[in-house]
């Protein structure tokens, strides 16, 4: 996994030739406050956390090792009528796109479709710790893996190339369910469930798990839906951490397309409590 060299605090960020190549210099100069609250700074910080913190690696391993425990329990205690399947999201569930996030943030930018498609076309995303071993192990025990992603149809070939680069099981057209029309994954999960018993679902976003979380719920509704279904987490739903983006962020914006300034304002609005 590509890693960055860090020695400090002041963001003298030197943009490298590729994706995610930054050096953070400690030159003793204090950052000014003018850009301290920009969304791109926040995105940089969280993406660097994903690349550099051992805690992120530990959380990823924890998720995949829990998934394996649950799978072994299911394999030994249940006799499903249909073959077992695992449904997994791709981005920030087992592929690491933090180099893209850093590339964008260093230019003061957030996600945008054109730059994202360019990154995806490279098929160069690395894997998240623990993921490959889990899927390999599951497949070796006869469990079929389905990749259910909101990457679009145009990204299918590059996505398969990225998965096949690591020899992920079932990395073929039949097991890759990209987005076509609705961003909800429920119809795709339903189509899998016609022929398989879904043992586990893995994702970094609540919509990866259930239609309970579809239709743009508010922050409060998302939190309530999680608490009301708490028995599913760690049992049927395995969640990977993603502080860099997701519906948690979209809910803050009430799912509106905002300017960077409006986004920053939305974040600062709710900081009360101190
Ligand atoms: Mg994802």
| Beta-strand pair 95-96/126-127 | antiparallel
How many angstroms separate the alpha carbon of residue 150 from the centre of ligand 1?
Answer: 8
Mean pLDDT of 85-97: 98
pLDDT band per the 50, 70, 90 thresholds, residue 268: confident
Higher pLDDT, 265 or 197: 197
- pLDDT value at residue 6: 41
Neighbours of ion ligand 1 (CB under 5 A): 89, 91-92, 204
How many angstroms separate the alpha carbon of residue 255 from the centre of ligand 1?
Answer: 17
- Selection from 5, 1, 237 nearest residue 130 by Cα: 1
How many angstroms separate the alpha carbon of residue 26 from the centre of ligand 1?
Answer: 33
Residue 271 has pLDDT above 80, yes or no: no
Beta strands in the chain (DSSP E): 5-6, 23-24, 84-88, 95-96, 126-127, 144-152, 176-179, 197-203, 237-239
Mean pLDDT of 92-97: 98
Q: Per CATH, which fold does 55-97+125-269 belong to?
A: Rossmann fold (3.40.50)
Tens digits of residue pLDDT in 198-211: 999 999 999 999 99
In this prediction the pTM is: 0.87
What distances in angstroms separate CA 209 from CA 147, 151, 199, 204, 235, one per listed residue? 13, 16, 12, 9, 12
How many angstroms separate the alpha carbon of residue 142 from the centre of ligand 1?
Answer: 25
How many angstroms separate the alpha carbon of residue 204 from the centre of ligand 1?
Answer: 5
Q: Give the residue carrying structure tokens 């990457």.
A: 151
How many angstroms separate the alpha carbon of residue 28 from the centre of ligand 1?
Answer: 37
How many angstroms separate the alpha carbon of residue 248 from the centre of ligand 1?
Answer: 12
How many angstroms separate the alpha carbon of residue 206 from the centre of ligand 1?
Answer: 9
Alpha carbon 218 to chain centroid, angstroms: 20
Surface-to-core class of residue 147, CB atoms within 10 Å of its CB (0-12 exposed, 13-18 middle, 19+ buried): buried
């Amino acid at each position: 996994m590509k890693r960055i060299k860090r020695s400090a605090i002041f963001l003298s960020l030197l943009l490298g030739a590729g994706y995610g190549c930054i050096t953070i210099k400690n030159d003793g100069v204090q950052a000014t406050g003018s850009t301290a609250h920009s969304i791109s700074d926040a995105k940089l910080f969280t993406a660097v956390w994903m690349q550099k913190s051992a805690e992120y690696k530990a959380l990823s391993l924890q998720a995949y090792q829990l998934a394996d425990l649950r799978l072994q329990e299911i394999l030994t205690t249940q006799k499903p009528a249909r073959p077992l399947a695992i449904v997994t999201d791709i981005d920030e569930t087992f592929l690491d796109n933090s180099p893209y996030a850093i590339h964008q943030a260093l230019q003061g930018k957030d996600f945008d479709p054109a730059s994202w498609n360019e990154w995806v076309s490279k098929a160069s995303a690395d894997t998240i710790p623990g993921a490959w071993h889990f899927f390999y192990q599951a497949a070796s025990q006869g469990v079929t893996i389905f990749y259910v992603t909101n990457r679009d149809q145009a990204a299918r070939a590059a996505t398969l190339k990225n998965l096949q680069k690591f020899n992920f099981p079932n990395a073929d057209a039949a097991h890759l369910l990209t987005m076509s029309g609705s961003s909800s994954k429920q119809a795709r999960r339903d189509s899998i469930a016609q022929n398989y018993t879904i043992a586990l679902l893995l994702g970094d976003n609540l919509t990866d798990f259930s239609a309970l979380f579809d239709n743009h719920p508010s922050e409060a509704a998302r939190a309530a839906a999680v608490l009301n279904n708490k028995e599913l987490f760690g049992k049927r739903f395995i969640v990977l951490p993603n502080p860099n983006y997701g519906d948690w962020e979209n809910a803050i914006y009430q799912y509106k397309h905002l300017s960077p300034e409006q986004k920053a304002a939305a974040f600062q609005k709710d900081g009360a409590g101190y």
